Amino acid sequence: MNTVDTLSNIAWFATIKLALARGFASGLVLAAFSATQGNSIAEVMGVPFMWAIFSLFMFGLVYLLAKILSGVLPLINLLPLLLSLMIIVGDPIVYVFNRMFPKILDLTDFKILNFNAIIIVYHPE
């Protein structure tokens, strides 16, 4: 299977939806932690939204960069793993949400913890 076939099999809308959901959920955890550190609720209310957008672009960029440079710099593959630790904290929330509302994310086998910074959703074959 060549790259064009692989790219055409990606469910882009579902992949972006999942990335935003994981970013929002980890942003909720980050906001809750920040609120316990003395920040007011007003200060942390926008964190889940900002983190969802930031993580979508940041993790996507790092994922592509790691794929491109992995042949030259093998240790660059550790970068997405390290970034996954920042987003994995929201996976239990996404897991419960997906179990309660399975039609929204359209995922059949989302695990409670996923050690991937980016999860690509493919069309069913």
pLDDT at res. 98: 93
Q: Which residue has the higher pLDDT, 100 or 40?
A: 100
- pLDDT tens readout for residues 21-55: 999 999 999 999 988 888 888 788 888 999 999 98
pLDDT tens across 58-68, in order? 888 887 887 78
Q: In the structure encoding, which two tokens stand for residue 71, read together?
A: 């042949």
Show the domain range for 50.
3-105
Asked whether residue 60 is assigned to any structural domain, the reply reads yes
Q: Count up the domains in the chain and report the number.
A: 1
Q: Is residue 121 situated within a structural domain? A: no
pTM of the model: 0.84
Assigned domain for 51 exists: yes
Please indicate, yes or no, if residue 112 is contained in any of the structural domains: no
46 belongs to a structural domain = yes
Q: Residue 18: name the closest of 6, 10, 30 by CA.
A: 10
- The verdict on residue 114 lying in a domain is no
Is residue 111 included in any domain, yes or no? no
The three-state DSSP-derived secondary structure of the chain is CCHHHHHHCECHHHHHHHHHHHHHHHHHHHHHHHHHCCCCHHHHCCHHHHHHHHHHHHHHHHHHHHHHHCCCCHHHHHHHHHHHHHHHHHHHHHHHHHHHCHHHHCCCCCCCCCCCCCCCCECCC
Residue 88 is assigned to a structural domain of this protein: yes
